[in-house]
């Protein structure tokens, strides 16, 4: 499932690589109210696409994709970035980790393995802080909680499709772990963004960190 917002410069390259590397998976693009030609390019190339009428954000786009997967009886859904950062070659390994480890979530981690590239700068510090807070509140260590390359099993579909304020974010991972979900990680490398713009810039990065930390420390305890 590929959430996409104004990714016309790179979306077809991303989808072509994904389709060539993993020909047995079904690809769904959730066009999150793009103002550019993203939706038209995806449709013309023959990929499945669901378009939201306005830009609703990652959580809403992800929930839309999960509902699509649930309605069609899929066993799992993978969150795959449209901007070219995620490498499709790791997806089979993620599926194996889910099946062999009976995991509900598998994260492709930049911080594992002999050649781990890690997360640097302010984002690296933020990731380490979030990892520490998740371990403090759940007892489980997640090396790369801010990785957006994640595979979710069908047991979690209802939580994301029907839940309130449950998105593919670190605070939701902490909450799911407390509900009994099992999380596994595999080592991976990620490329630089090939196009588009990140929604985490300047003030939004600070707001993201504050919101995430508060959710882990406070609000996850009152979620249902």
On the CB side of 63, CA atoms within 13 Å amount to: 17
- State how far the alpha carbon of 116 is from the alpha carbons of 19, 96, 108, 188, in Å: 26, 20, 11, 8
Query: Can you read off the two tokens belonging to residue 82?
Result: 């449209």
Residue 37: give its domain's CATH number.
3.90.550.10
- To 10 degrees, the CA torsion angle through 91, 95, 197, 42? 80
pLDDT exceeds cutoff 60 at 196: no
- Report the C-alpha gap between 79 and 189 in whole angstroms: 16
**Residue 197 phi, psi dihedral angles, 5° rounding:** -130, 140
pLDDT exceeds cutoff 60 at 202: no
pTM of the shown model: 0.90
| Closest listed residue to residue 4, CA positions, set 77, 63, 69, 58 | 58
The total of structural domains in the chain comes to 1
**196-212 b/e (C-beta count within 10 Å ≥ 16 → b):** beeeeeeeeeeebbeeb
Given this model, what pLDDT does residue 166 score? 87
Chain mean pLDDT for the chain? 90
pLDDT exceeds cutoff 70 at 27: yes
Mean pLDDT of 67-75: 97
Range of the domain at 180: 2-221
- State how far the alpha carbon of 142 is from the alpha carbons of 41, 120, 157, 201, in Å: 36, 17, 21, 24
Given this model, what pLDDT does residue 115 score? 63
């Amino acid at each position: 499932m590929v959430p996409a917002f104004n990714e016309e410069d790179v979306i077809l390259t991303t989808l072509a690589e994904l389709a060539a590397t993993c020909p047995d998976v079904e690809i769904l693009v959730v066009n999150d109210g793009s103002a550019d030609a993203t939706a038209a390019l995806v449709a013309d190339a023959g990929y499945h696409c669901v378009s939201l009428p306005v830009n609703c954000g990652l959580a809403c786009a992800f929930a839309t994709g999960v509902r699509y997967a649930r309605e069609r009886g899929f066993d799992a859904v993978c969150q795959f970035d449209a901007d070219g950062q995620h490498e499709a070659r790791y997806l089979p390994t993620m599926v194996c980790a889910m099946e062999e480890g009976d995991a509900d979530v598998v994260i492709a981690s930049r911080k594992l393995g002999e050649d781990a590239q890690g997360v640097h700068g302010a984002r690296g510090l933020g990731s380490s802080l979030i990892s520490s807070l998740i371990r403090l509140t759940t007892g489980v260590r997640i090396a790369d909680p801010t990785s957006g390359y994640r595979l979710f099993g069908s047991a979690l579909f209802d939580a994301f499709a029907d839940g309130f304020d449950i998105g593919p974010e670190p605070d939701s991972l902490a909450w799911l772990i407390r509900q009994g979900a099992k999380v596994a990680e595999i080592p991976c490398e990620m490329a630089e963004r090939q196009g588009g713009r990140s929604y985490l810039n300047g003030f939004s990065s600070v707001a993201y960190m504050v919101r995430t930390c508060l959710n882990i420390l406070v609000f996850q305890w009152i979620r249902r």
